[in-house]
Amino acid sequence: MNVLLDDNPIEVEDHTLAAAMSAGVEIAQQTGRAVVEVLVDGKAVRGEELIDASTEPIPDARVELYTADPIELVSQSLRDAAAALESARGSHTDIAGRLQSGADIPEALSQLSGTLSVWQGVQDVLARGYALLGRDPSTLDLPDDVAGGKTLNDLLTELGGQLREVRRSLEDHDLAALADTVGYELEPLAGVWAGVLSHAAGAITQS
């Protein structure tokens, strides 16, 4: 098995993906880096295959591992999430308008699905990013002009409540309540959270 870490060959004990990843992660950690991409014979390994790496022998495979500076990686992920949220901010108003007018409800719900994916990404990037760095996101100090005096936990609680209300409205087919939550609650929150994520990205690189 041919195993490369950032294009440099490394030795592994067993000819398995699990062994290759274990060796690569150990070497990367010694230099303060994190493995961010894994390829087997040119095909990216993702999801469960990455989390629960196979112990099946693959003696003829070519395994490529690529690393990144974890602080730079998380910081960029936070900036990307902030940009995605800012880009999706206007769609909240559009969705609410469609729901209120009853015009093209399927399109409104399709847009909403995409917007909810962006919000899920916000929560994921915080949890996974800070976990990668071994830090507690609740310790992030947010200035008043970014969060209006609220803590990150306050904002997470508020966001969770609004997203639960969206799910309730969808389950109950309550389009009026759904429009109100999306247009009057989530839309302004998108602006707040875009600022929070941008601030977090800067704070991580400065700490």
CB 184, CB 114: distance < 8 Å: no
pLDDT in the model for residue 49? 87
C-alpha span between 199 and 119 (Å, rounded): 17
Whether 63 and 77 share a structural domain? no
Pairing state of beta strands 2-5 and 34-40?
A: unpaired
Length of the chain: 207
Distance of CA 188 to the CA centre of its chain: 20
Amino acid at 85: L
pLDDT in the model for residue 52? 87
Mean pLDDT by 10 residues, the chain (207 residues): 96 94 95 94 90 91 96 95 93 94 91 96 92 91 95 96 97 96 96 96 88
Q: At which of 68, 85, 117 does a domain end?
A: 68
| Percent above pLDDT 90 for the chain | 90
Q: Quote the number of domains for the chain.
A: 2
Instruction: Decide: helix, strand or coil at residue 29.
Output: helix
Q: At which of 48, 68, 88 does a domain end?
A: 68
